[in-house]
Structure 1
Amino acid sequence: MAFDEEKFRVTTRKSNCIQSLLCSALPASRNAPDITHIRKLAVSADYPRDLIGYGSHPPHPRWPGNARIALSFVLNYEEGGERNILHGDKESEAFLSEMVAAQPLQG
């Protein structure tokens, strides 16, 4: 039986991807659950998702008119619904911060 290098490369890459995903989701513990059955399912043909990435060979996006650049305009419109001391509110908004347990500033 001849060695199929492409099949080996794809299978290995898929296995490494699955292992990375599963290991990153599990706690680093000696009591971690046995996930052998999950790994076997993930690399089998019965798994519903293809977890193989494109790496350095992404598919061509086939943009209309063979465009070579895509622009995305994002417009964030905020109507000023947040509490703000400068606008006469008694306190500032507390939930617009990434700090845990942030408290509003009193005016």
Structure 2
Amino acid sequence: RKVKLRVDEVQGKNCLTNFHGLDFTTDKLRSLVRKWQTLIEANVTVKTTDDYLVRLFAIAFTKRRPNQIKKTTYARSSQIRAIRKKMTDIMQHEAVGCSLSQLTT
């Protein structure tokens, strides 16, 4: 993962930094994506308990069932909408009661 920090203030030889982002490296993200499955992305903007406005992103993939014969594991658009709604609800519920430091650890 890549952690981005922003320098807010310089005091002598010390820099006071603030959290500015957390991201996957491109090779990790590309290793997750596979053919013959559906990629589902969701995002939500949440205000933390310490008054930071945070935008969370999540990705999900469909998975083959045990003993599945069909090659593909595509989801219908109605299923994608339901999964995305569930993802945003869970992210909203988990992030509302947290501070920024709790979210990033």
TM-score scaled to structure 1, two decimals?
Answer: 0.23
Structure having the higher strand fraction is 2
Report which of the two structures shows the higher radius of gyration computed on alpha carbons: 1
For CA contacts below 8 A with separation 6 or more, give which structure has more relative contact order: 2
